Amino acid sequence: MNIKRLLCSGVLVMSLASTSLLSFAQDNVSENVQEITEGEAPEAIGETEEPEEPEAEPEVVESYDEYDEYGNLMFASPSSMEEGMNEAAEGRMYARAIGSQQSFINQIAPLAEKAARENDMYASVMIAQAICESGWGGSSLSKAPNYNLFGIKGSYNGQSVMMLTSEYDASKGGWYQINAAFRKYPSYRESLLDNVHVIRTTSFQSGVYYYSGAWKSNTKSYKEATDCLKGRYATSPTYNTTLNRIIEEYGLTKYDKDPGMYRLYNPGNYEHFYTASATERDYLVQTGWGTYEGVAWYPPKTGTPVYRLYNPVLKDHHYTTDWNEVSTLKSKHGWNYEGVAWNSGGTKTVYRLFNPGLKSGSHHYTLDQNEVNVLKSQGWKYEGIAWYGE
C-alpha cells in the first residue's frame, strides 16, 4: 500500500480566516418533520393503544449528516446566537475564523468518536490528523469533490486525483515536492472510515500490523499513538509533536472518553436536555442554549433502547422506553420521533417526574432520590422508574 504525506507542520499558524466550511446552525426538526398545528405536553399516558412492533423509523440513525451514533440529532434544540454583534470588524473576523475551526471539529467528531470506539483507536488522534492533513478542511484535496481528509495516496473505488505534495527524506536533503495520486471519496464519512481501515489493516508481514502501536489497547495515552505514526503514517520528523499540540490546544481528548449522559438546562423554557454526544453538549453550551450541569448517569453500550422525541411547537424533548408511548405522542400530540437516544440497563435507577404546569420541560429524569423528593414538594408528580443506568 502506498501511504501518504501532506505537509502540515504549519497548520497551527495558518490564516484563521482562510477556511470555508459548512454552517452548523441546523434546524431543530429532523428532515421528515410534518407541519404541526397543535402541540401538547406528554402527560402520563392514560389511554393506550395495542402494543405494536417498532416501525422502520429507527433507520434515521444511519444518517451521518444529521444524527450521531446514538440517534441524537447532532444539533437538536438551539437557535444560533448572533456572532460578534458588538465587536469591531477585526474581532468579528477572528471570531468567525475560530467558529469555523470548531465547526470543522463538530462536523467530523461524531463520526470519529464512533469509528474510534469500534476499532480500538483514539478519536483525538483521528481528529488531529484530519485537522493537520487538511488544514481545517481548507485544502483542495479535502474539499468537494475530493473529500480526502488524511492525504491517503492511491485510489478509492477506482477514483483518484493528482496533487502536488511535500515529502521528507534526510538522504535527499530534507523536504522535496512530487506529484502523486490521492484517493477521492464521496464524502468525509468514507475518508474517515478508510483511515480506520489503513490504521487497522496495513501489514507487510503476516500477523504483524504496521500501525498496531497506535491502537488504544497497545498504548497508555494518545501520545504513544502519535509517536507510532511519526515516520510511518507521515514522513515529517515532527509529526507527533504537531498532532499533540493540536490535541492539547483544542481539548480533543474529551472525544476519547466513554460517553456519559450529559445533562443541560435551559432557563428560558425550563427544559432539562439529555444527550450522549459530547459534540451536541458543547454546541448547545457554545450557542448559549443553556448551561451544562454534568454527567447525569452512564448508559450501557447495549440494552433496552430509550427513544427520543421532539415537539417543534413546545420546543421540548421527551424520552421513553415505551414504543406505545412513542406512537401515541406521534399520532395524537404532534411529536416527532428522533431515534434511539441511548440504552437502558445497569443497577442505577433513573426516576421520571411530570409537572402539569409546564409546557416545555414538563418531564424530568434523575438518579437522585433527594431531587425527586424536592421536586415532589414543589408540585411535580412522580411517575415511577424511567429506565436504568450505570
Task: Tell me the domain boundaries of the chain.
Answer: 88-254, 258-389
Residues of the chain with pLDDT under 50: 1-7, 9-41, 43-98
* pLDDT at position 72: 36
Q: Read off φ and ψ for residue 41, nearest 5 degrees.
A: -70, 145
Q: Which residues of 40-57 are buried (b: 16+ CB within 10 A; e: fewer)?
A: ebbeebeeeeeeeeeeee
* pLDDT at position 161: 95
* pLDDT at position 42: 52
Residue 65, number of CB atoms within 10 A of its CB: 12
108 CB-near residues (< 8 Å, 6+ apart): 127, 130, 149, 188, 192
43 CB-near residues (< 8 Å, 6+ apart): 354, 356, 362
What is the CATH topology of the domain spanning 88-254?
Lysozyme (1.10.530)
Whether residue 145 is preceded by a cis peptide bond, meaning omega within 30 degrees of 0, is yes
* pLDDT at position 166: 80
* pLDDT at position 294: 86
* pLDDT at position 99: 57
Give the predicted TM-score (pTM) of the model: 0.50
